[in-house]
Chains A and B, each alone.
Chain A
Amino acid sequence: MIPASKLKRKRRPDSALGLLSTPSFPAIVGTADAMLKAAEVTLVGYEKIGSGLCTVIVRGNIADVRLAVEEGSRLAEKLGQTVSKLVIARPMPNLEAVFPIGSHLVEIAQQQRGYSRLSNQSIGLLETRGFPAMVGAADAMLKSANVQLSAYETIGAGLCTAMVRGSVANVAVAIEAGMFEAERIGELNSVMVIPRVLDDLEAMLPVASCWIEKPLPLLFSNRVKEKEKELVPLENLEQLSRTIEQEPDT
Chain B
Amino acid sequence: MQLSPPQPVSTSHFCVIGDVTIHPHAKIASGVILQAAPQSKIVIASGACIGIGAVIQAFEGTITVDSNAVLGAGVLVLGQVTIGMNACIGDCTTIINTDIVAQQVIPEGSLMGDSSRSTLDESPNGSPLNDALPSNPVNPDWPSPSPIPSPAPVSSPQRQSPVIGRAYVTQMLQVLFARNSSP
**Which A residues fall within an 8 A CB radius of B?**
24, 26-27, 30, 78-81, 127, 168-169, 172-173, 175-176, 179, 187-193, 195
A172 touches B164 (CB 8 A): no
Residues of A near B168 (CB, < 8 A) are 30, 78-79, 191-193
Min C-beta distance of A108 to chain B, whole Å = 31
A190 touches B165 (CB 8 A): yes
0/1 interface trace, chain B 145-183, chain A, CB 8 Å (1 if under): 000000000000001001111101100110011000001
Min C-beta distance of A244 to chain B, whole Å = 91
Within the complex, which residue of A24, A81, A192 is in contact with B169, where a contact is CB–CB below 8 Å? A192
Min C-beta distance of B159 to chain A, whole Å = 7
Given A176-B183, A187-B159, do A81 and B172 touch, yes or no (CB 8 Å)? no
Residues of A near B165 (CB, < 8 A) are 26-27, 30, 79, 190-192
B contacts with A, residue count (CB < 8 A): 13
**Which B residues fall within an 8 A CB radius of A?**
159, 162-166, 168-169, 172-173, 176-177, 183
B164 touches A27 (CB 8 A): yes
B164 touches A176 (CB 8 A): no
Given A24-B164, A189-B164, do A172 and B173 touch, yes or no (CB 8 Å)? yes
Min C-beta distance of B146 to chain A, whole Å = 27
B162 touches A80 (CB 8 A): yes
Q: Ordered nearest first, which 4 A-B pairs have the shortest CB separation?
A: A190-B164, A191-B165, A192-B165, A191-B169
Residues of B near A189 (CB, < 8 A) are 163-164
Within the complex, which residue of B163, B166, B176 is in contact with A172, where a contact is CB–CB below 8 Å? B176
Within the complex, which residue of A27, A79, A169, A192 is in contact with B176, where a contact is CB–CB below 8 Å? A169
B164 touches A80 (CB 8 A): yes
B172 touches A191 (CB 8 A): no
Interface centre among B165, B166, B173, B177 (most CB of A within 10 A): B165
Min C-beta distance of B157 to chain A, whole Å = 10
Residues of B near A176 (CB, < 8 A) are 169, 173, 183
- In the assembly, what is the distance between CA of A81 and CA of B162, in Å? 11
Min C-beta distance of A246 to chain B, whole Å = 94
A193 touches B164 (CB 8 A): no
- In the assembly, what is the distance between CA of A81 and CA of B177, in Å? 27
- In the assembly, what is the distance between CA of A81 and CA of B167, in Å? 13
Residue of B nearest to A182 (CB): B163
Min C-beta distance of A78 to chain B, whole Å = 8
Residue of B nearest to A22 (CB): B164
Residues of B near A79 (CB, < 8 A) are 164-165, 168
B164 touches A26 (CB 8 A): yes
A190 touches B173 (CB 8 A): no
Residues of B near A169 (CB, < 8 A) are 176-177
Residues of A near B159 (CB, < 8 A) are 187
- In the assembly, what is the distance between CA of A187 and CA of B162, in Å? 11
Min C-beta distance of B178 to chain A, whole Å = 12
- In the assembly, what is the distance between CA of A81 and CA of B168, in Å? 13
Within the complex, which residue of A172, A179, A187 is in contact with B172, where a contact is CB–CB below 8 Å? A172
- In the assembly, what is the distance between CA of A205 and CA of B20, in Å? 69
- In the assembly, what is the distance between CA of A220 and CA of B144, in Å? 81
- In the assembly, what is the distance between CA of A244 and CA of B154, in Å? 120
Given A80-B164, A191-B163, do A175 and B176 touch, yes or no (CB 8 Å)? no
- In the assembly, what is the distance between CA of A190 and CA of B164, in Å? 4
B176 touches A191 (CB 8 A): no
Report 12 cross-chain contacts, Cβ distance below 8 Å, ordered by A residue. Answer: A30-B165, A78-B168, A81-B164, A172-B172, A172-B177, A179-B166, A188-B163, A190-B163, A190-B165, A191-B163, A191-B168, A192-B169
Interface centre among A81, A169, A179 (most CB of B within 10 A): A179
Residues of A near B166 (CB, < 8 A) are 179, 191
- In the assembly, what is the distance between CA of A26 and CA of B163, in Å? 11
